[in-house]
Amino acid sequence: MPTYVLFSRLSSAAQRSVIDNPVTLTQVRQKLEEWEASIVADYHLLGEYDHCTVFEISDNFRAQRAVLQEEITTAEDSLLLTAIDLPLFERMIRQETRTEGPHEWQVKWWAKLVRVAFRWYQWDRWIWRYFKPLTVTGREHLKGIRGPAIFIANHTSHFDTMGLQAALPTRIRANLYMGAAADRWFLRKGGGRKELALQPWYNSLITGSFPIRRGGGSATLDYSRWLLDQGAYLGIFPEGTRSTSRKMSRFKHGVSILALDKGVPVIPIYLSGFNKIRPKGSREISSGPVWAHIQPPLYLSNMEVPDATRVIYESLNAPHERTLRLVGDAGRYDFAD
């Protein structure tokens, strides 16, 4: 998720209110969190600016809107900067962000056979070890699904991909291909990338993944279209990155474009509990109960892309809101017993 640094200069009225009530210093944080920002760090400054907040948010649009709201309320002046973590910046200036793939050979019979042989190593051993128990509901919605289709899910954890795999029957898993960030999982060999799981060929062959270039425009969907033409099932997280707030992030339009263009159904799967197995930013893994709720398929036609995206969003937001309402803070990414 993109990171931003916000410098704020408080108005005279806001400075006086801080003296009377220091709690008002948290107003910047509150306004940003209302726009689904995840606060990384918060500082009061002794210098040209009065406040510095480091936060993550899904896209530039939300960042700008959040800052505008903050300016309207308390800040006299503000400066918003986009931040790039140092390892990524080093890769960029060394030209190590060139990517490989997609690999069309991953749909060949021999590649599918290899994936079946490695299923226990890649997926099932983790599912068996950490999903205790795994509850899947709504499998009856899959009975009429034959041929190409798009499976989508909300995204809060690296384990969501395993949850999606575990929720689906073998006949679908054997022909399922998952979209993955090209700048993380499909970087060309070099720069000390020795981990097998980070090799592009491994992800194409063993995990059945294919690269999605963030911000790559409509051309980034060409391979997804090709896969659907081959009769494949796609697995996509339409938020584009893992969410760290109570609300789901705004959906990208890619799924809508594909579904309308190819006339294929979209099957939403609401995942719950996976963010506690391995929260974003943590390397610790713990076992616990997880749920995958398969929703009725969506058949989209004669719709504009934004309207289709809205329908897709609501198909997952409805069970998400029910979860928040019934379980309270359990919907938060950082919820702990």
Sequence spans of domains, the chain: 3-83, 104-331
The token pair at 313 is 């969003």
Q: What pLDDT was estimated at residue 244? A: 61
Q: What pLDDT was estimated at residue 334? A: 41
Q: Among candidates 254, 267, 246, which has minimal Cα distance to 323?
A: 246
Helix (H, G, I), strand (E, B) or coil at 152: strand
Q: What's the CA gap between 28 and 72, in Å, rounded?
A: 11
Q: What pLDDT was estimated at residue 336? A: 38
Residues of the chain falling short of pLDDT 50:
72, 95, 191, 329-337
Q: What pLDDT was estimated at residue 31? A: 73
Q: What pLDDT was estimated at residue 124? A: 92
Q: Is pTM beyond 0.85 here?
A: no
Q: What pLDDT was estimated at residue 297? A: 96
In CATH, the number for domain 104-331 is 3.40.1130
The token pair at 61 is 């649009």
Burial environment of residue 52 by CB neighbours within 10 A (0 to 12, 13 to 18, 19 or more): middle
Q: What's the CA gap between 251 and 238, in Å, rounded?
A: 5
Q: What pLDDT was estimated at residue 335? A: 37
Q: What pLDDT was estimated at residue 218? A: 66
Type of residue numbered 21: N
DSSP string, 253-298: SHHHHHHHHHT--EEEEEEESHHHHSBTT------EEEEEEEPPPB
CATH of 3-83, one of 3.30.2130.10, 3.30.70.920, 3.50.30.60, 3.40.640.10: 3.30.70.920
Q: What's the CA gap between 254 and 153, in Å, rounded?
A: 14
Do the Cβ atoms of 70 and 28 come closer than 8 Å? yes
